[in-house]
């Protein structure tokens, strides 16, 4: 089984050595689905927002949108050769290899990683472990450090594995116990999960762990449907050309995301907006730490994405559905 969102047969793959070299369908090329695209841009703008999940049937472009984020993420200074993309400026969060390196650590700008956990990936591939030569091989949770981990059809993943991934994401550190190999490394990443409700439910307590959740519907408008077919066909015929034709718009979003990431830690949350958030949460019976943090960080992300250094009540209103819609009453 594969996620059939834009899972397509390309007309001419001879230009690419591997299918993974085909550039992802650009997020700006997705017709409609504004709420979904916005949620992805917000989590790209503010990593403190946490994890998000997109819920929708096949063909809604949800996986394509998440994969398309890859091309608009900025570069960050990264230690060369490090499996965990260590930040040379964050000495306290270096991995064991970087910490114990006897030579000077050189770094260079590298694009923020976005990795995808394939359906059916082994726990070892996800969490990492020692090989037969006792060398520690990082899993996806390590390789995605400082970046994003895409989990398509998250409701098909073993719930224990999904909860473990979410635990690691929330703590920013992967501490493997003795049973799994006894090692530790930085693992600060945001999960972008997708699920198709036709595959089954996700437990309410797992769903509530996501800071934002959104339901996406297939587009019914006939003209928009024709436009989707036209674009997907153009991409299928020549992915590089299609991406190039969307390049200018992608660049504009990439610049916005980069600027928002630089700005977000300086965005001010006025007391009256914080009080309004408390009132909203109390009124909805959702006054808990998780919902509060998600709403605060979502509003900060929205302000930063709009190039503002203060939050308004409109920022809160714009993200409220995304943050609160999937939560049960306390
Ligand atoms: Zn390192």
Cβ–Cβ < 8 Å for 208, 328: yes
Query: What is the distance between the alpha carbons of residues 110 and 80, in angstroms, rounded to a whole number?
Result: 9
Give, for all 330 residues of the chain, the pLDDT tens digit. 344 455 555 666 666 767 778 889 999 999 999 999 999 999 999 999 999 999 999 888 899 999 999 999 999 999 999 999 999 999 999 999 999 988 889 999 999 999 999 989 999 999 998 888 888 899 999 999 999 999 999 999 999 999 999 999 999 999 988 777 789 999 999 999 999 999 998 999 999 999 999 999 988 899 999 999 999 999 999 999 999 999 999 999 999 999 999 999 999 999 999 999 999 999 999 999 999 999 999 999 999 999 999 999 999 999 999 999 999 854
For 4, 40, 156, 192, 239, the CA distances from 50, given in Å and listed in that order, are: 26, 11, 21, 9, 31
Centre of ligand 1 to C-alpha 23, Å, is 28
Q: pLDDT per residue over 61-106, tens digit each? A: 899 999 999 999 999 999 999 999 999 999 999 999 999 988 889 9
Centre of ligand 1 to C-alpha 212, Å, is 30
Q: pLDDT per residue over 185-226, tens digit each? A: 999 999 999 999 999 989 999 999 999 999 999 888 999 999
Sign of CA dihedral 292, 293, 294, 296: positive
Complete domains list, the chain, with CATH: 19-74+112-262 (3.40.50.300), 267-324 (1.10.8.80)
Centre of ligand 1 to C-alpha 98, Å, is 4
Q: Give the relative orientation of helices 313-324 and 271-283 as an angle to the nearest 10 degrees.
A: 30
Ligand 1 ion: Cβ-proximal residues, 5 Å cutoff = 82, 84, 86, 95, 98
Alpha helices in the chain (DSSP H): 34-45, 62-68, 96-99, 123-127, 140-143, 159-171, 204-207, 222-237, 239-245, 247-263, 271-283, 289-305, 313-324
Centre of ligand 1 to C-alpha 162, Å, is 25
Centre of ligand 1 to C-alpha 77, Å, is 12
Centre of ligand 1 to C-alpha 110, Å, is 14
Centre of ligand 1 to C-alpha 101, Å, is 9
pTM across the whole model: 0.92
């Amino acid at each position: 089984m594969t996620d059939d969102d834009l899972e397509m047969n390309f007309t001419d793959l001879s230009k690419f050595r591997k299918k993974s070299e085909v550039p992802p369908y650009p997020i700006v090329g997705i017709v409609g689905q504004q709420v979904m695209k916005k949620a992805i841009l917000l989590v790209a703008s503010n990593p403190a927002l946490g994890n998000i999940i997109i819920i929708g049937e096949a063909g809604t472009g949800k996986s394509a949108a998440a994969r398309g984020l890859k091309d608009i993420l900025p570069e960050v200074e990264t230690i060369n050769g490090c499996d965990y993309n260590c930040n040379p400026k964050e000495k306290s969060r270096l991995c064991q290899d970087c910490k114990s390196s006897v030579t000077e650590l050189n770094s260079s700008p590298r694009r923020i990683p976005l990795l995808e956990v394939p359906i059916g990936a082994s726990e070892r591939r996800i969490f990492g472990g020692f090989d037969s030569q006792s060398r520690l091989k990082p899993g996806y949770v390590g390789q995605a450090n400082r970046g994003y981990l895409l989990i398509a059809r998250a409701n098909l993943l073993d719930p224990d594995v999904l909860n473990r991934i979410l635990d690691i994401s929330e703590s920013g550190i992967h501490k493997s116990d003795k049973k799994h190999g006894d090692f530790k490394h930085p693992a600060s990443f945001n999960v972008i999960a997708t699920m198709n409700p036709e595959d089954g439910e996700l437990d309410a307590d797992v769903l509530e762990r996501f800071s934002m959740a959104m339901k996406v519907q297939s587009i019914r408008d006939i003209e928009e449907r024709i436009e989707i077919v036209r674009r997907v066909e153009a991409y299928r015929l020549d992915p590089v050309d299609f991406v190039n034709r969307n390049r200018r718009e992608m660049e504009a979003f990439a610049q916005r995301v980069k600027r928002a990431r630089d700005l977000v830690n300086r965005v001010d949350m006025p007391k009256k907006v914080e009080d309004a958030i408390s009132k909203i949460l109390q009124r909805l019976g959702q006054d808990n730490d998780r919902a509060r943090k998600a709403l605060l960080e979502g509003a900060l992300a929205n302000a930063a994405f709009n190039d503002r250094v203060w939050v308004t009540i409109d920022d809160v209103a714009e993200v409220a559905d995304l943050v609160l819609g999937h939560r049960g009453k306390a």
